Amino acid sequence: MFVRPGELRQAEWAELDLDQAVWSLPAEKMKARKPHIVPLSTQAIKILREIHPLTGTGQYVFPGARTNKKPMCENAINAALRGMGYDRDTFAGHGFRSMASTLLHEKGWPSDVIERQLAHAERNNVKAAYNRAEHLPKRQKMMQGWADYLDTLKAGAGIIPIRANG
């Protein structure tokens, strides 16, 4: 999904449309204060449907350990990584974003598509003033390719292509 850890931990069921495979984040939750649409892979939809019986009656997809009235704590993702043996010098929750960006760029996905998925603002002021492209069809294809790639790694297979063309 490539969202920031704070955006992920505050995900609300009301923001998700599992039938349309999108997560619509409101502007007030985004760093740039602009709404953001996240295309969801079939794997993400499957996981969310599996989580729904556990947390779906509450507001948050990932509620806090002590109360379901608040999202999971700010340190939950990094604490999970520490529990898996990653120290803070090796990996942090925010690192998933840079890892995905790097691999997708190296595999030939268009930078505009990757940057839009990361919810990064256009740095070129002239381009930003005119270009409002969301690249949703390409982002959906990219996110499905990314999820398929992760599934293959999970299964222990070698590197598979996640090229923009394939």
The residues carrying an active-site annotation are 4, 31, 94, 97, 120, 130
Residue with tokens 């931990």: 9
Question: How does DSSP classify residue 63?
Answer: B
Distance CA 138, CA 64 (A): 34
Cβ 68 vs Cβ 55: under 8 Å: yes
Distance CA 9, CA 149 (A): 24
In sequence order, what are the residues at sequence separation of 6 or more whose Cβ sits closer than 8 angstroms to the Cβ of residue 104? 114, 142, 146, 162
Nearest to 137 by CA among 110, 156, 161: 110
Cβ 103 vs Cβ 97: under 8 Å: no
